[in-house]
Homo-oligomer: A and B are copies of this chain.
Amino acid sequence: MRYFVAVAEELHFGRAAARLHMSQPPLSRAIKQLEADTGALLLARSPTGVTLTAVGTVLLDEARALLEHADRVRARVSEAAGAAAITVGILGDGTDPGVARLAAAYRRTHPGIDIRVRDTDLTDPTCGLRAGLVDVALTRAPFDETALTVRTLRSDPVGVVLRADDPLARHDRLRLAELGHRRWFQFPQGTDPLWQSYWNGGTPREGPVVRAVQECLHAVLWNGTVGLAPLGHDLPAELAVVPLIDMAPSRVVAVWNKGDTNPLIRSFIKTATVAYRH
């Protein structure tokens, strides 16, 4: 019916399709189907243009009222639901382009829902999920997944971060073994072992302790240490990141507590999967 109202108002299939953010053929089909169900021609397609038939005029009025009614229902129910809120944890500084798209999409499809964001440092890959500080975390695997549900959103190749003037920075790809003698920045003791081990390339390392992304970069810049990072992020010109060919890619994931009853999680995850799929 939204489709029909759009076409009836534009009196032009192409423009209506644009307004509905879709292409023209499926719109034509949808209108045809509506006509088949009502049993009457709603739009007179003459080569000079599209006109409303008598029945079409009736339906236009009725459809407008009905759609308005539906919108009112939505509003009333979400009012009755109170300020529904979801807290999402984001690892690091959350400048991931996917996050921006996701936030925009979710605000659009669920207006009135209160989205709270909690930016966390790199020491807890679950962003405080277990502690109940967030409902869902946008983070990176791997980590201890007991009592959590994990959904992969994307995979990024991983590289090593070096000073731009580091001799190794001239390579266009490296192996972990070529970095064995370097100092690596380290997460503090007590962080998730799987997480810690992954970012150390699988073997224990020595180096300065970091907690946030900025600290990692500083550690590389000032201390000449190295460390791993997913590719595809903007870095200051003084730093270089060289792809590692023997490192499993880093998975961007959405995580939530198994058995969490907050109904918003379900819709949030769904929006997330499509937003990350471009």
Contact = CB atoms under 8 A, between A and B. Distances in A.
Interface of A: 32-33, 35-41, 54-55, 58-59, 62-63, 65-66, 69-70, 73, 76-78, 80-82, 84, 110, 112-113, 261, 263-267, 270
Contacts of A270: 36
Given A37-B110, A59-B80, 9 more contacts: A35-B266, A36-B266, A37-B267, A38-B77, A39-B263, A39-B264, A55-B81, A58-B76, A66-B66
Contact of A267 (B36, B73, B80): B36
A125 to B, nearest CB: 25
A55 B264 CA distance: 14
Contacts of A54: 80
Nearest to A81: B40
A266 B81 contact: no
Nearest to A61: B76
Contacts of A266: 32-33, 35-36
Contact of A36 (B32, B35, B112, B264): B264
A101 B58 CA distance: 33
29 contacts: A32-B263, A32-B266, A33-B267, A35-B263, A36-B263, A36-B264, A36-B265, A36-B270, A37-B110, A38-B78, A39-B81, A39-B84, A39-B263, A39-B264, A39-B267, A40-B82, A41-B263, A54-B80, A55-B81, A58-B76, A58-B77, A59-B73, A59-B77, A62-B73, A63-B73, A65-B73, A66-B69, A66-B70, A69-B69
Contacts of A73: 59, 62-63, 65-66
A36 B84 CA distance: 11
Given A73-B62, A76-B58, A263 B40 contact: yes
